[in-house]
Amino acid sequence: MNSALTVRAVGRQIAAMSSECFEVGVYRPESPGLDARMLLRTWDPETLLRSLPWLRLQNRDGWHIYIRPSGEHSLSLVDDLTSDAVAAMKREGFHPAALVQTSPASYQAWLKHGERLEREVSTVAAQTLAEKFGGDKGAADWRHFGRLSGFANRKERYRDVLTGLYPFVRLIEAQGGVYPEASRLVADSKRHVEERLRQKNCLSRSNTVPCEQLKTIETFRADPRYAGDGNRIDLAWAIYALSAGITDEGVNAAIRSRDLSKKGNERRQDQYVERTLRKAGRCLGVDRGR
């Protein structure tokens, strides 16, 4: 595929995915004398487009080119779909925002939910879609890479034995819209996560209160009083949870069900959770140390 076509395909795909920032994975599989290696770049759309000549060079040298939204996002990837599965998705109200043909008989669909999903909800949504339409369940999570259109799929089994060439990843559709069944699937996914958290919290409790009366952190996240402020939500729920007898481990797990990467590295994320627990303890009159 010539450079102009690659620019057009990539531009249309990232516009349809409509994320402010993308992670691009440049992957070299293991080969004799060489270990597998992944180069990860985080770029806004403009930087990504400027970097296409470098990506084309890596692809020509045998590297695979992948893409995913950076951070929590509003998309789900459904991998390894047949053409019949894609047709079924459209019939049932699950129209892809972007549809990519990765090999002669396989497709990847990016579905747009219309709102940013917490990582656990996003994973449940991806798993539900993979199960429903026969996609790759191993690729169904909130952070999975999909292929970037306009570049060759360098898997050896797809190489043409006569020409020695690899098939290009083709952008089939780039409508960019939210699929009609989005609100229903998102609501079901949130209920699933809330129930799972409720059950986990009940198992983590140090006293006995009816589980059906226990609120999850998802309830607080949906409460308009907190205006989506993650820090306020974490503290408010920590106070509630500790007073209800949920253990530190249960509170820690619930707070971490959202993306804390903006807090910094793992150490800083740990410190944030510890500070939240200490503040909650002080509000309850409990001295939790420094």
Q: Within this chain, do residues 178 and 215 fall inside the same structural domain, yes or no?
A: no
CATH number, domain at 44?
3.30.70.1790
* 250-285 per-position pLDDT tens digit: 888 889 888 898 888 989 999 999 999 999 988 887
pLDDT score recorded for residue 288: 59
213: domain CATH number is 1.10.1240
Domains of the chain: total: 2
Going by pLDDT thresholds of 50, 70 and 90, the confidence category of residue 201 is low
Q: Is there a single domain that holds both residue 29 and residue 144?
A: yes
| Rounded Cα gap, residues 144 and 167, in angstroms | 22
Is the pLDDT at 214 greater than 80? The verdict is no
Q: Which residue has the higher pLDDT, 136 or 161?
A: 136
pLDDT band at 111 (very low <50, low <70, confident <90, very high): very high
> Does residue 93 surpass a pLDDT of 90?
yes
- Mean of the pLDDT values across residues 94-103? 98
If asked whether residues 13 and 149 sit together in one domain, one would say yes
The answer on 153 and 33 residing in a single domain is yes
pLDDT in tens, 13-51: 999 999 999 999 999 988 888 889 999 999 999 999 999
- Helix (H/G/I), strand (E/B), else coil: 217: helix
Q: Assess whether 162 and 217 both reside in one domain.
A: no
- Domain ranges, residue 272: 204-283
What does the pLDDT read at residue 182? 97
Beta strands in the chain (DSSP E): 22-28, 37-43, 64-69, 75-81, 98-103, 106-112, 146-147, 170-173
**133 or 32, which is more confident?**
133
Report the pLDDT value the prediction gives residue 204, as an integer from 0 to 100. 54
pLDDT tens profile 154-175:
999 999 889 989 999 999 999 9
Q: Are residues 78 and 12 in the same domain?
A: yes
For residues 133-161, average pLDDT? 94
Average pLDDT for 79-90? 98
Same domain, 172 and 32: yes
Tell me whether residue 194 is in a domain.
no
Residue 85 has pLDDT above 50, yes or no: yes
> For all residues of the chain together, what is the average pLDDT?
91
**Given a cut of 90, is residue 211 above it in pLDDT?**
no
Do 97 and 114 touch, CB atoms closer than 8 A? Answer: no
User: Do 110 and 150 belong to one domain?
Assistant: yes
Q: Which contiguous run of DSSP H or E holds residue 12? A: helix 3-17
Asked if 221 and 128 sit in the same domain, the reply is: no
Task: Identify the weakest region by mean pLDDT among 1-15, 55-69, 205-219.
Answer: 205-219
User: Token pair for residue 220?
Assistant: 């607080």
Same domain, 94 and 221: no
**pLDDT of amino acid 20:** 94
Interacting residues of 254 by C-beta distance below 8 A, sequence separation 6+: 197, 201, 216, 217, 237, 241
Does residue 13 lie within any of the structural domains?
A: yes
pLDDT at 290: 47
Q: Which band of pLDDT confidence, cut at 50, 70 and 90, is reported for residue 289?
A: low
Share of the chain above pLDDT 70, in %: 93
Q: Clarify whether residues 19 and 140 are in a common domain.
A: yes
What's the mean pLDDT in 73-79? 98
Q: What is the mean pLDDT of residues 126-152?
A: 96
